[in-house]
């Protein structure tokens, strides 16, 4: 009898949690996205100008279609590595430290505060396409070792197109293409992310 009561209580809790999570009045969403792509500086790019970035954000949903997003983004150049099998399954890896943008720089770091409007179009109950357009307040540095070659900050724009799948428990995943304009520096990247709505 005690086991049956506990089982009934567990089923009731799971059912109420699922019904609460599927309510369309959820106004808040927090998420994280990882991106990989390429950068160009003053329209100059070359092989090896790859970047990786991580983005954390908060959304406030006004209605089914529109939301306001605020987030923090951080990125850096991605280095190429070459690994060779020397002997007996021992690998030697060397960093292919190519210069960036033909400037002689070997290090790029950037950060952004992003404020954007997000619109989404529902394809099915759980699938949607979305787009974001907004401003990014940026700060970046191009360095050669400990020497700073370029240091800039300012305001640019951000645009993103993506697909999102929402589960009924509040979790969601997305895949997207993002473009960041940071004055003379532009970044185009593909990303995947996870978010939670409540």
User: What pLDDT is stored for residue 1 in this prediction?
Assistant: 43
The lowest-confidence range among 91-105, 165-179, 180-194 is 91-105
Q: Which CATH number fits domain 22-197: 3.75.10.10, 3.30.200.20, 2.40.160.20, 3.40.50.10090?
A: 2.40.160.20
Print the SS3 string covering the chain. CHHHHHHHHHHHHHHHHHHHHCCCCCCEEEEEEEEEEEEEECCECCCCCEEEEEEEEEEEECCCCEEEEEEEEEEEECCEEEEEEEECCEEEEEEECCCECCCCECEEEEEEEEEEEEEEEECCCCEEEEEEEEEEEEEEEEEECCEEEEEEEEEEEEEEEEEEEECCCCEEEEEEEEEEEECCEEEEEEEEEEEEEC
The lowest-confidence range among 43-47, 65-69, 80-84, 162-166 is 80-84
Per-residue pLDDT band for 17 (boundaries 50, 70, 90) equals very low
User: What pLDDT is stored for residue 9 in this prediction?
Assistant: 42
Q: For the CA atoms of 117, 32, 170, 125, what is the dihedral angle to 10 degrees?
A: 50
Does the predicted model carry a pTM greater than 0.75?
yes
């Amino acid at each position: 009898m005690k086991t049956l009561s506990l089982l009934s209580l567990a089923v009731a809790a799971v059912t109420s949690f699922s019904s609460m999570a599927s309510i369309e009045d959820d106004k808040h969403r927090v998420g994280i996205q990882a991106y990989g792509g390429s950068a160009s500086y003053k329209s100059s790019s070359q092989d090896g100008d790859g970047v990786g970035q991580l983005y954390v954000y908060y959304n406030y949903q006004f209605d089914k279609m529109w939301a306001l997003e605020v987030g923090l983004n951080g990125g850096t150049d991605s280095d190429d590595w070459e690994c060779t099998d020397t002997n007996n399954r021992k690998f030697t890896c060397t960093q292919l430290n190519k210069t960036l943008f033909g400037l002689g720089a070997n290090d790029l770091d950037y950060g952004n505060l992003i404020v954007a409007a997000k619109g989404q179009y529902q394809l099915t109950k759980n699938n949607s396409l979305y787009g974001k357009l907004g401003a990014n307040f940026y700060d970046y540095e191009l360095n050669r070792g400990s020497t700073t070659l370029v240091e800039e900050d300012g305001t640019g724009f951000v645009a993103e197109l993506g697909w999102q799948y929402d589960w009924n428990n509040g979790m969601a995943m997305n895949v997207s293409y993002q473009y960041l304009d940071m004055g003379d520096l532009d970044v185009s990247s593909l990303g995947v992310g996870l978010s939670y709505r409540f």
